[in-house]
Amino acid sequence: MKKILLSIISFFALSVGMVNAQSTTFDQGTGTLNLGIGMGSSLYSKGYNMLIPPVSLAYDHCVLSGFLNQNGSVGLGGYTGFTSSRLKYGNAKADESHIVFGVRGTLHYEFIERLDTYLGLMIGYGLSTVSSNIYNVKTESEWNFANSGFFGIRYFFTPAWGAFFEAGSGISYATIGATMRF
């Protein structure tokens, strides 16, 4: 886990120098990477306590820009999210985990310099796994179709770094975190 975290931090640090001057927050050819933590989730069963909060990683690449008075753009990208929870009653326990993989499309509009507002759709698959020590219940996993509508904002403090907020029905109801542009 430490190696993964160190790799992500190194990638972000090295990418700062790759950002070119841009006229809007999301021009054609621009890529963004969001790393976030979620608040609330519809994926937990009643009575479960969170073990790992909803975490997500989303990539967005601008494929079209310069419309809607030069402030509009379209992005395509990917999404993955993970969360886990536990139900405990005496000596009995049940663990539940969820992972979501998907592709997403976004429509962006820049109202204010350095502020990227967007809405989008995601489609993909989710894997739900439940394991328990109750009455010899074995681990069960199930793949399901996953879809989500969402909206979000990104504010860039520097040409490469910013913060984001997204709301919708993905791995969590709302997500906040850091965003990197390259």
pLDDT of residue 3: 57
Mean pLDDT of 54-61: 97
Q: What pLDDT, on the 0 to 100 scale, is given for residue 24?
A: 64
Q: In the structure, what pLDDT confidence band is assigned to residue 11 with cuts at 50, 70 and 90?
A: very low
For 11, 60, 74, 110, the CA distances from 71, given in Å and listed in that order, are 29, 17, 11, 5
DSSP assigned state of 182: -
Assign 4 to helix, strand or coil.
helix
At 40, the pLDDT band (50, 70, 90 cuts) reads confident
For the cut 90, the answer to whether the pLDDT of residue 36 exceeds it is: yes
Q: Give the per-residue pLDDT at 14.
A: 42
Locus of tokens 């962006």: 108
Q: Is the pLDDT of residue 21 over 50?
A: no
Architecture of domain 29-181: Beta Barrel (2.40)
Q: Is 74:105 a contact under the CB 8 Å cutoff?
A: yes
Q: What is the mean pLDDT of the chain?
A: 85
- How far CA 143 is from CA of 86, 99, 140, in Å, comes to 20, 10, 10
Whole-number pLDDT of residue 101: 96
> Encoding tokens for residue 56?
């997500």
Provide CB contacts within 8 A for 100, sequence distance 6+. 79, 80, 81, 82, 124, 125, 126, 127, 146, 170, 171
DSSP calls for 168-180: ESSSSSEEEEEEE
Q: Among residues 156, 145, 146, which one has the least CA distance to residue 108?
A: 156
Of residues 3 and 18, more confidence is placed in 3
pTM: 0.81
Report the relative pairing of strands 72-89 and 161-168 from DSSP bridges: unpaired
